[in-house]
């Protein structure tokens, strides 16, 4: 196997992307894949992704393979897997059939290059199982044994994960690439649904607040989101509270503390995209919705605690990142709030919002 940063190569005809999850990580990979599309405009690009995140690449009800469109703008073919579900019933006939179908589909496509943007053992194994003769991945993947499966190990010295993925793309091309704007699908039904909901609420200009987080240490208090919504409303900007399954309690707290200034809206991924396309501002922590807002060029007030914004911060949009010096970078999924995150005050968030809104 070779260790490489730049290689001389012919254009790839069939290119497979392996980035399985989660929302933010898939979004971080999109600019690199867009750059590859620009470099190889005639290439067929496939993407292996977990089923639950497929809406980030393909609108619901749209064929997963075929001619690209607004509903599937990046990948010619979206190959989905259900790894968590399959692990629970690994020896069942149904699971065996699903795995066989998924992997026969990938192999039948005849990809000549696969790139593991995820850097995990499972993603590296899936790249290898595609039978692509060339497999690219980072020289220092997230899970070190993943590198055993690569034919080309790429040095990625950049800090931000978007830039690390871009380095992988440049190694595949064999030279520098221009940055590409992420392309996300548009689902007409979701666009119409969100329009109807906003009309019912009589909302045109609004801020989107996202009080949830992947784990407790990243979660700024919901009461403070409510206070932010109350003050924004006084300045003429109402708020919509985005929440996911299991986050109803957080949304209730935000609404209560806002004095009715914040309106709740639970959304699918496609509906959240439609909602963000209409938002004037996003306020939230290091979560998938924050990265989705950044990908859609919505100004972002980002509240960071234990995770490092230099590596995972909002990318490619106007932003103010708030992080106290007390916060220490850690990916331990602690249930309690990060002490540094708690030091970020409502006034800090309002000042950041004013700065972003004033610059538009």
H or E element, residue 169: helix 161-173
Phi then psi for residue 181, to 5 deg, are: -80, 135
333 lies in the same domain as 249: yes
Q: Could you read off the pLDDT tens digit of each residue along the chain, which spans 360 residues?
A: 334 444 455 678 999 999 999 999 999 999 999 999 999 999 999 999 999 999 999 999 999 999 999 999 999 999 999 998 998 888 898 988 998 999 999 999 999 999 999 999 999 999 999 999 999 999 999 999 999 999 999 999 899 999 999 999 999 999 999 999 999 999 999 999 999 999 999 999 999 999 999 899 999 999 999 999 999 999 999 999 999 899 999 999 999 999 999 999 999 999 999 999 999 999 999 999 999 999 999 999 999 999 999 999 999 999 999 999 999 999 888 888 899 999 999 999 999 999 999 975
244 lies in the same domain as 104: no
From edge to edge, which strands make up the β-sheet containing 300-303?
262-266, 239-243, 207-210, 281-285, 300-303, 319-322
162 lies in the same domain as 198: no
152 lies in the same domain as 218: no
Three-state secondary structure of 270-297: HHHHHHHCCCCEEEEECCHHHHHHHHCC
Question: In whole angstroms, what is the distance from residue 121 CA to residue 339 CA?
Answer: 33
144 lies in the same domain as 279: no
pTM of the model: 0.95
Task: Look at residue 286 and tell me if it is in a domain.
Answer: yes
144 lies in the same domain as 200: no
Q: Do 283 and 228 contact (CB within 8 A), yes or no?
A: yes
CATH classification at residue 326:
3.40.50.2000
Structure tokens at 271: 């509906």
Domain assignment of residue 53, given as a range? 2-173
Choose one of 139, 173, 207: the last residue of a domain: 173
Task: Look at residue 179 and tell me if it is in a domain.
Answer: no
Looking at the structure of the chain, the number of domains it has is: 2
């Amino acid at each position: 196997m070779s260790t490489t940063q730049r290689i001389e190569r012919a254009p790839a005809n069939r290119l497979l992307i392996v980035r399985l999850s989660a929302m933010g990580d898939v979004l971080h990979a999109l600019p690199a894949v867009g750059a590859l599309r620009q470099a190889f405009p005639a290439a067929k690009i496939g993407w292996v992704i977990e089923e639950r995140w497929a809406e980030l690449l393909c609108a619901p009800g749209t064929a997963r393979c075929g001619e690209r469109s607004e509903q599937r703008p990046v990948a010619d073919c979206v190959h989905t897997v259900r790894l968590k579900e399959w692990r629970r019933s690994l020896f069942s006939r149904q699971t065996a059939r699903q795995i066989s179908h998924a992997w026969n589909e990938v192999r039948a496509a005849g990809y000549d290059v696969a790139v593991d943007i995820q850097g995990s053992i499972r993603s590296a194994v899936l790249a290898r199982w595609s039978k692509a003769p060339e497999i690219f991945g980072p020289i220092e993947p997230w899970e070190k044994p993943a590198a055993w499966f690569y034919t080309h190990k790429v040095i990625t010295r950049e800090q931000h994960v978007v830039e690390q993925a871009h380095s992988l793309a440049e190694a595949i091309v064999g030279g520098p690439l221009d940055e590409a704007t992420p392309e996300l699908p548009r689902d007409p039904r979701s666009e119409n649904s969100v329009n109807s909901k906003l009309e019912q609420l009589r909302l045109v200009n609004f801020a989107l607040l996202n009080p949830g987080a992947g784990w407790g240490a990243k979660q700024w208090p919901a009461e403070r989101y409510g206070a932010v919504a109350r003050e924004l409303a006084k300045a003429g900007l109402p708020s919509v509270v985005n929440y996911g399954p299991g986050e109803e309690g957080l949304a209730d707290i935000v609404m209560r503390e806002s004095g009715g200034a914040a309106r709740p809206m639970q959304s699918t991924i496609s509906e959240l995209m439609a909602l963000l396309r209409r938002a004037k501002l996003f306020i939230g922590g290091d979560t998938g919705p924050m990265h989705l807002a950044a990908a859609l060029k919505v100004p972002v007030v980002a509240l960071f605690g234990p995770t490092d914004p230099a590596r995972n911060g909002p990318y490619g949009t106007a932003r103010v990142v708030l992080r106290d010096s007390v916060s220490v970078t850690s990916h331990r999924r602690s249930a309690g709030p990060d002490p540094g995150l708690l030091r970020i005050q409502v006034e800090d968030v309002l000042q950041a919002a004013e700065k972003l809104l004033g610059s538009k």
